[in-house]
Amino acid sequence: MPPTGYKVAFPMLSGDGSRTGFRGVSLGGRIVYGALDDARCGYGRRHGSPARGCDCGFYCLHSASEAQELTCATDCRDAVILQVSVLGAYTRYERGIRYARQRVRNVRVGPCRCGHPAQAFVRTETGLPGWRSLRGTCAACAAGLRLFPLTEFARLAGDWVNVTTDAPVRPADRRDEVLPQLAAEAALIQARLDQFQERLAELNWPPAPEEK
């Protein structure tokens, strides 16, 4: 059973719309790889990857939650999380694996930027020669734009690839936010009122009525 790992990548669509792939977020940011592919040197050197004396090769993390944390970075907000099977030669580290070949098993698409579940991909304004970057979106936010179905992305990637979406980001219950705030404001008002009454008492205000 090959090791399983998790990584983040940008989903890509070929210029003619016939192929899908992935672009790395760091060293491999200029290379688009397929759902089943061999690592290539990000420096363009003519050697197999991973190679000694070079930091090229595929990388993945052991934990899906650590991969999820990477998508919090501004530069990675449109990235998807890949579950991969590690194939070929590899080196295991404390947090992850560096390896020569991989098979993408699952593509997890995060919520739309509005917080609703992604329903499709839409083209972004970035890309590489021959490839366009995609990002997940809901139908409402993509109104008027050409959508690329998630199912079509999976079909072009390979019949073993599954595409899933994150649950919607649940807006915080307004009562959870407002009630503690109102309680704090009421306590502050009461404290100020108590202080005001103490000052009045010190000034003997209001004065006692004069006797006739």
Q: 206 and 155, same structural domain?
A: no
The answer to whether residues 175 and 183 touch, using CB atoms and an 8 Å cutoff, is no
- Domain final position from 148, 165, 182: 165
Q: 60 and 114, same structural domain?
A: yes
Exposed/middle/buried for residue 190 (C-beta within 10 Å: 0-12, 13-18, 19+):
exposed
Total-model pTM: 0.76
Where do we find the tokens 């021959």? 130
Q: 179 and 152, same structural domain?
A: no
Q: 34 and 111, same structural domain?
A: yes
| Cβ neighbours, 10 Å, residue 185 | 10
Please count the structural domains in the chain.
2
Q: Name the residue range of residue 110's domain.
A: 4-165
Q: 65 and 133, same structural domain?
A: yes
Q: How far apart are CA 188 and CA 78, in angstroms?
A: 43
Residue 169 has pLDDT above 70, yes or no: no
Query: Using CA of residue 174, residue 175, residue 181, residue 185, what is the dihedral sign?
Result: positive
| Model confidence pLDDT, tens digit, residues 91-145 | 999 999 999 999 999 999 999 989 999 999 999 989 999 999 999 999 899 888 8
Q: 159 and 177, same structural domain?
A: no
Q: 35 and 134, same structural domain?
A: yes
Q: 102 and 69, same structural domain?
A: yes
Q: 178 and 132, same structural domain?
A: no
| Model confidence pLDDT, tens digit, residues 2-31 | 999 999 999 999 999 999 999 998 877 889
Beta strands at 58-61 and 96-109: parallel, antiparallel or unpaired? antiparallel
Q: 47 and 143, same structural domain?
A: yes
